[in-house]
Amino acid sequence: MDYSRRNGNSRWSVNLAMLKIEPRPQPSRLMGYLSPLIAVGLTLVTGIIFSILVGLNPLSAFYAFFIAPIDDLYGLGELGVKAAPLMLIAVGLAIGFRSNVWNIGAEGQLTFGAICGGGLALYFYQVEGAWVMPLIILAGAIGGMLWASIPAFLRTRFNTNEILVSLMLNYVAIFLLSYLVHDPWRDPDGFNFPESRLFSDSALLPIVLQGTRLHLGLVIAVIAVVLGWVFVRKSFVGYQMQVAGLADLAALYAGFKRKSMVWIGLLVGGAAAGVAGVCEVAGPIGQLLPSVSPGYGYAAIIVAFVGRLHPVGILFASLLMSLLYLGGEAAQMDLGLPSAITGVFQGVLLFYLLAADLFINFKLKLTTPVAKAAAREALP
C-alpha cells in the first residue's frame, strides 16, 4: 500500500494494487441501507462454509438453524420473546450512540432493573392487584436509570470514561444479583437452590398470544420503537443529540450542552435496559435467578448498529438477532453444536457490517496505470 499525493489541498488516496479506495463527495444513502443486508448475506455464507467444514449438510444446517425454530406458532412466539428485550435495549442505546455516548453497560442496567423490579415483586408476593405489575415495571425502569446514572454522573462530574465505568458495573450488578439469590432473597422452600420465590400472578406479565410464551414485553418494546422514532425525528432534543454525534464543535457553537447529552443518552439507555430486565424476570423467567440474561445487553449493541441506530432498522435487526439466538439453541439440540456458536456469529455479523460500512463514505475504483497517468496530467 502506498500513498500518493493528488493535489495540494491534502487530499490523499490509497492504492490497493489496481483497486483504489476513494472518498465519496457525500455519504451514500443507498450503501447505508445495503450494508446491513450485505453483512447478513456474508454472515450466511460464512455459516454455510462453517457447516461444511464441521461436516454438516449446509442445507439441513440452514433449515435447522433458521427455519425449524420458527415453523410453528410457538416458535414465532419465541422469536418475539427474545426480540423484545433486544429491541427495547437497542432503541434506548441507539439514542446515546447517535450522540457518541458509549453506554456498553446495558447488561448491568438490565440486571439492576431486574433486581429492583424483581425485589418489589418478591415484596408483593402475597398481594393481588392490577397495580402491582405496572409498579414493578416502573421499578425496573428506575433501577436501570439508577445504574446508568453512575457512569453519567462520573462522566459529567469527573470526566471519567463512560465505556469502562458502564462495563465494570455489568460485573458488579451480576455479582450483586448472585449474592441476593444465594442469600437474602433465596426461596425459603427452595431446597437451597440459588433462586428466589416464584412471583405471584399479579406480578407476571400477561401472555399476549395464546399457545405461546409471548408476553406484554413485546408490546412495550414496540411502543419504545415508536417513541424512539418520534424522539429522533420530531423532537428538538433528538435533533440536538444527532448534531452532537455528527459534529461536536458544531453542537458546541449552537449551544447544545454536552453534559445533558451524556445524561439523556445514558438514562434513556438505562431505563430501556431496566424495563427489559424486569420484563424478563416477570415474563418468561417468573422469578430471580443468578443469571437473567443470555447476553442481551451486549447483543443489543450489535442490534443497534445493524439497525443503523434507527428505530425501524432496530425492529428488523432485533428479529434477526433473536433468530440467531433461537438458531443457536436449535443447533445445540438438533445438530449437537454448542450454543456458543451464537456469540461467534453475532461477532461475525458486526465485523461484516463495520467492513461494509466503508462503502458508505468511500467507493472502490478500478485504476489502470493509464488512468492514473491521465489523472496526474489533469492536475493543475
Partner 1 sequence: MDTIVGILLATLGAGTPLVFAALGELVSEKSGVLNLGVEGMMIVGAVCGFAVAAESGSLWLGVITSIVAGAGTALLFGVLTLTFQANQVAAGLALTIFGVGLSAYIGLDYTSVALTGMAQIHIPLLSELPIVGPLLFSLDPLLYLSFVCFAAITYFLYRTKAGLLLRAVGESPESALSLGYSVIAIRYMAVLFGGAMAGLGGAYLALVYTPLWVEAMTAGRGWIALALVVFATWRPARVMIGAYLFGGVTIIQFHVQGFGVDIPSQLLSTLPYLATIVVLVLISRDINTIRLNAPASLGKAYHPSV
User: Under the rule (CB under 8 A), what is the footprint of partner 1?
Assistant: 1-3, 10-14, 22-23, 102, 104, 150, 154, 158-161, 163-165, 167-169, 171-172, 175-176, 178-179, 182-183, 298-299, 301-302, 305, 338, 340-348, 350-351, 354-355, 357-358, 361-362
Closest distance of CB 192 from partner 1, Å? 15
Amino acid at 147: W
CB nearer to partner 1: pick between 75 and 294: 294
Angle at 356 between CA 352 and CA 361, to 5 degrees: 150
Write phi, then psi, for 98 (nearest 5 degrees).
-60, -30
Closest distance of CB 211 from partner 1, Å? 32
Q: Tell me the CA end-to-end span of the chain in Å, nearest whole number.
A: 25
CB nearer to partner 1: pick between 16 and 373: 16
Instruction: Tell me the C-alpha distance between 136 and 152, whole Å.
Output: 24
Closest distance of CB 42 from partner 1, Å? 13
Residue corresponding to grid cell 443468578: 290
CB nearer to partner 1: pick between 170 and 240: 170
Instruction: Tell me the C-alpha distance between 238 and 231, whole Å.
Output: 5
CB nearer to partner 1: pick between 77 and 92: 92
Alpha-carbon torsion 162, 266, 121, 325, what sign? negative
Q: Under a CB-based contact definition with an 8 Å cutoff, are residues 224 and 87 in contact? A: yes
Closest distance of CB 65 from partner 1, Å? 15
Closest distance of CB 171 from partner 1, Å? 5
CB nearer to partner 1: pick between 22 and 200: 22
Distance of CA 254 to CAs 95, 157, 240, Å?
A: 20, 22, 9
Distance of CA 285 to CAs 69, 278, 282, 328, 379, Å?
A: 20, 10, 6, 19, 67
CB nearer to partner 1: pick between 88 and 150: 150
Closest distance of CB 158 from partner 1, Å? 5
Closest distance of CB 37 from partner 1, Å? 17
In sequence order, which residues have a C-beta less than 8 Å from that of residue 309 and are 6 or more positions away?
A: 94, 97, 98
Sheet with 19-23, side-by-side order of all strands: 2-7, 11-16, 19-23, 362-366
Closest distance of CB 297 from partner 1, Å? 11
Element holding 90 (H helix, E strand): helix 73-98
Which candidate, 282, 10, 327, places its Cα nearest to that of 135? 282
CB nearer to partner 1: pick between 226 and 358: 358
Instruction: Tell me the C-alpha distance between 331 and 342, whole Å.
Output: 9
CB nearer to partner 1: pick between 263 and 305: 305
